[in-house]
Amino acid sequence: MNCDVLIVGGGLAGCSLAVALRSARLSVAMIEARAPRAPGGWDARIYAVSPGTARFLEDIGIWRHLDAARMTRVSAMEVHGDGDGRLDLSAYDSGVAQLAWIVESSLLHHELWETAKRQANLTLLCPARPQALMFAPDAATLTLDDGRAITAKLAVAADGADSWTRQAAGIDVSFHHYGQIGVVANFACQLPHRNTAFQWFRDDGILAYLPLAGDLISIVWSTPDAHAKELLELSPEAFCARVGDAGGHRLGKLTLVTPPAGFPLRLMRPPRRIGSRLALMGDAAHAIHPLSGHGINLGFQDARVLGEELTAMPDYIDCGDYGLLRKYERARAEETLALQTVTDALQRLFAPRNAGLKALRNIGLNLTNALPVVRDSLVRYAMR
């Protein structure tokens, strides 16, 4: 099989790139091991989708088809330090409609997948697993475990932080393990959240409450491995009590809706995000601490930029042209580096249990809270 663009990985980033190429004069193939299931009960894996990402999803025809009853706008955010520090962000005060949207992973993935299935210029290979990848000056050839071979002018690695494609291309990366696990779960809360997100920097990690539809919330507790293991082994009643205590019972009594799950937290920066006939995107190109809530937005913006470059290129340009790929790499370098650096710095700043540092970081939160111009700048940047 021959195509112009081969996307390895049909997750959120890979699917969004495939759909973004719907009007391109290119033949596209995408391989994925298993198709996503339609959302049933509430998904514990949720994302804070920025307004900029929402615009991209609207542009590619996805946003309007998502179930509005399962999506929640974030109108305000309270950030609490590990002392008396506090930062309040408000969409109303900053003159914007919302700070972000909270959307379930399965809801996004299923809609992207269903849209991709109807796309005329896309061949969807699922289930399919890669076995070998070879690069030549004019093409990349991927061999599947069932013996089929796909030759493409450009291969795109969109197969996650542990990307098989990146490794097969000889791009070695090193992970910085934070020694933390992100514990996630959904709850019904006694008091209304009023579309407010909450975040606490605590001695035992960083806890976030994120509003869901109705009286539901989703939590992400980024906490040391040993504490995470303890949390995951608690009974449902004890786990609810522990999460409620950690949030100062801000939303009253909590009732567990989905069982807790955990995933390890890592930082990853590849030495480069392109190669000959290769582009990395999504988690294959960057891994970041979830405290900013922007990891998924980086992946979607990768898809937006690469999709725009490939769609707008003249007919005489090869879609695997190294100069074209360099434009994509340069366009994504600044935002990715900035977010990785800021989130990593914040994680390191709040990790040490040092009295002097504790006072300094809480003063910093209060100072930022006292300067509306700085607060508005943070909001505007986060909305990109």
**pLDDT tens string 285-328:** 998 877 766 678 999 999 999 999 999 999 899 999 999 999 99
Whose tokens are 């002018």? That residue is 153
Q: What is the pLDDT of residue 350?
A: 66
Same domain, yes or no: 314 and 332? yes
pLDDT, residue 382, reads: 55
Rounded mean pLDDT of 162-181?
A: 94
Q: Quick one: average pLDDT of 162-170?
A: 96
Give the pair of three-digit tokens for residue 267: 């930082």
Are 191 and 168 in the same domain?
no
Mean pLDDT of 88-111: 90
**Residue tagged 């809706």 (tokens):** 257
pLDDT confidence bin for 89, thresholds 50/70/90? confident
Q: Are strands 76-80 and 196-202 parallel, antiparallel or unpaired?
A: parallel
Range of the domain at 82: 64-104+178-265+352-382
Tens digit of pLDDT for each residue in 236-265?
A: 999 999 999 999 999 999 999 999 999 999
Same domain, 252 and 273: no
- What is the bridge-based pairing of β-strands 205-211 and 196-202? antiparallel
Q: What is the CATH number of the domain that holds 207?
A: 3.30.9.10
- Considering the domain architecture, whether residues 206 and 339 belong to the same structural domain is answered as no
In this structure, are 99 and 196 located in the same domain? yes
**Residue 184 C-alpha from the chain's centroid:** 14
Long-range contacts, stretch 299-302, CB < 8 angstroms, 24+ apart: 299/12, 299/13, 299/16, 300/12, 300/13, 300/16, 300/49, 300/53, 300/56, 300/57, 301/52, 301/53, 301/56, 301/332, 301/335, 302/13, 302/17, 302/332
Q: Which pLDDT score, from 0 to 100, does residue 44 have?
A: 87
User: CB atoms < 10 A from the CB of 291, how many?
Assistant: 22
Asked whether residue 199 falls in the same domain as residue 252, the answer is yes
State which amino acid sits at residue 117. K
Say if residue 241 is in the same domain as residue 100. yes
Give the Cα separation of 24 and 307 in Å (integer). 9
Q: Do 251 and 287 fall within a single domain?
A: no
**Total number of residues shown for the chain:** 384
Domain count along the chain: 2
Decide which of 247 and 96 is more confident: 247
pLDDT band for position 347 (cuts 50, 70, 90): confident
Q: What is the pLDDT of residue 270?
A: 92
What's the pLDDT band for 374 if we cut at 50, 70, 90? Answer: very low
Task: Write the DSSP assignment of 192-233 as a string of letters.
Answer: --TTEEEEEEETTEEEEEEE-STTEEEEEEEEEHHHHHHHHT
DSSP string, 315-333: TTS-TT-HHHHHHHHHHHH
pLDDT score at 363: 67
Q: Does the pLDDT at position 368 exceed 70?
A: no
Q: Are 294 and 205 in contact (CB under 8 A)?
A: no
**Could you tell me the pTM of the whole model?**
0.90
pLDDT tens digits along 186-241 = 999 999 999 999 999 888 999 999 999 999 999 999 999 999 999 999 999 999 99
Q: What is the mean pLDDT of the chain?
A: 90
Question: Does 120 share its domain with 235?
Answer: no
